[in-house]
Amino acid sequence: MLEIQGLSKSYGNNVAVDNVNFTVPDGQIGILLGPNGAGKSTIIKSIAGLLRYKGSIRIQGLPARTIDAKRVFAYVPEIPSMFDALTVREHIEYIRMAYSSDITDEEVEEILREFEMDDKQDKLGNELSKGMMQKVSICCALAVKPQVILLDEPMVGLDPAAIKKLKEVVVDLKSRGTTVLISTHMLEMVENLWDVMFVMEKGHIIGSYTKEDAEGRDLDDLFFAMTGGEKE
């Protein structure tokens, strides 16, 4: 479970996130939506521990800043960042050791194969394309075997095969009880994935729906009804 309570963050006088509350229940896929500047990245970075904030963030019931919470949590940032001098495989091994993950060699091979990176294991970080970096970033997050995973615009830069695979992986994570939060603008990419959606505007959650509440309505219909925008 991922619980956000009373989360606020200001940059100087600019209140980017104002007393936000939401929960992604155990084993569900949450989608965080909102127009540019709504505060999504600020929330994502707060959950990932990259910003100071006011309020409470709990991962599997544990305060997000604790080592025990970090152990069960993985984050795929919007912009991947690699170690120039580590190979693809060494990135995975590094994460595996840092998290004391019990992922097996076979599982690592499987993840790399799924994202068509198995034949690129010896490439260095600075030899990768942007899409390849994104794939390595996703593989590293999966190597944690997380109980909660946060994906920030994970489909940007991926080719169609990798997008398809990522969707399958997200469904697979859910089936194993992992809690997932995805922040994205690509509504059509997450249409068939979500269990609960939250829409932000100007630092607030202005509405949310569970899949049941939505009664079959499209994600973009729900989004534009809340934000008052036009459906494209």
Closest approach, Cβ 21 to ligand ATP, in A, equals 17
- Per-residue HEC secondary structure of the chain comes to CEEEEEEEEEECCEEEEEEEEEEECCCCEEEEECCCCCCHHHHHHHHCCCCCCEEEEEECCEECCCHHHHHCEEEECCCCCCCCCCEHHHHHHHHHHHCCCCCCHHHHHHHHHHCCCHHHCCCEHHHCCHHHHHHHHHHHHHHCCCCEEEEECCCCCCCHHHHHHHHHHHHHHHHCCCEEEEECCCHHHHCCCCCEEEEEECCEEEEEEEHHHHCCCCHHHHHHHHHCCCCC
Site string for ligand ATP, 36-75 (x = CB under 6 A): xxxxxxx---------------------------------
Is residue 80 a contact point for ligand ATP (CB under 6 A)? no
Selected range binding ligand ATP among 21-29, 31-39, 102-110, 186-194, rule: CB under 6 A: 31-39
Please give the size of the binding site for ligand ATP, defined by CB under 6 A. 11
Of 18 and 107, nearer to ligand ATP (C-beta) is 18
Closest approach, Cβ 7 to ligand ATP, in A, equals 12
Selected range binding ligand ATP among 30-38, 103-111, 118-126, 205-213, rule: CB under 6 A: 30-38
Choose which of 22, 31, 34, 134 interacts with ligand ATP (CB under 6 A). 34
Closest approach, Cβ 11 to ligand ATP, in A, equals 3
Selected range binding ligand ATP among 32-40, 165-173, 188-196, 206-214, rule: CB under 6 A: 32-40
Is residue 16 a contact point for ligand ATP (CB under 6 A)? yes
Kindly report the length of the chain: 232
Closest approach, Cβ 34 to ligand ATP, in A, equals 5
**Which amino acid, residue 32?**
L
Task: Write out the residues near ligand ATP by the rule CB under 6 A.
Answer: 11, 14, 16, 34, 36-42
